Structure 1
């Protein structure tokens, strides 16, 4: 089932359950997908990778907003953002743990023969491609830096 169909089904369920947080989150996803489809040069159908990138972007935006609100002592604003992020994350594939990401990064470092921070771009490019949708870029970057600096 396509992501758009899943989103529409979830929206119908959220409407029936009168779940405002889920409905707002799902509408944001639907809007982002429609926007991506109507961009100049875009195909009518988005690839699965493009859909995952849109979902990851929306989750990251909400988590970043929540972090800013928490820093400013506004937990009343941070909680809805985290709740929306949780709703959107349901449509992402299972996220890998740090150990699993580290194993993939170690494998890439061994394949490329990377030995210093100069090789970070090469390793990050391969790791980001291999772990697309399964891990966020910040976590990947942190692990790559740890491995290459030691």
Structure 2
């Protein structure tokens, strides 16, 4: 079942269950998918990779907003963002934990032949492609910096 069909089914369930937070997040996902499908130059269909990118973008937006709201002591808004983030993360592929990420990056560093922080660009290019959807860009970057010290 495609993500769009799954989201539509989840929206119906959230409406029936009167789950307002779930409904907000699911509608945001549906809107993002529709925008991607109708984007100029698009053929009306999106791939699983594009769906994953959309979900990651929505999750990142929620995380960033959550940080800002917490810094500004707006706990009422932070709670809403956190609720939506939980729903969005249900549809994302499982993220790598720190040990898995370290192992994958160590392997990439050896295959690229990186030895110093100056080689970070080479490593990041390969890592972001290989680990797309499995790890956050900030986490990859921080780990690569640590491993290339």
Q: What TM-score do you get using the length of structure 2 for normalisation?
A: 0.97
| 1:74 to partner: Cα distance | 1.0
C-alpha distance in 2 between matches for 1:14 and 1:79: 18
1:138 alignment partner in structure 2: 138
Name the structure 1 match of 2:13.
13
How far, CA to CA, are the matches of 2:49 and 2:141 in structure 1?
Answer: 20
Q: Which runs of 5+ in 2 are unaligned?
A: none
How far did residue 125 of structure 1 move?
1.5
SS at 2:91's partner residue?
Answer: coil
Q: How does 1:1-150 map to 2 (within 5 A)?
A: 1-148=1-148, 150=149
Per-residue CA deviations over 1:42-91 (Å, capped at 9, x if unaligned) read 22211111111110110110111011010011111101101100000000
| Aligned residues between the structures | 149
Q: CA RMSD in A?
A: 0.9
> TM-score, with normalisation over the residues of structure 1?
0.96
> What is the rounded CA distance, in whole Å, between the counterparts of 1:120 and 1:42 in structure 2?
34
Q: Secondary structure at the match of 1:90?
A: helix
Q: Secondary structure at the match of 1:96?
A: coil
CA distance in 2 between partners of 1:5 and 1:119 (Å)? 43
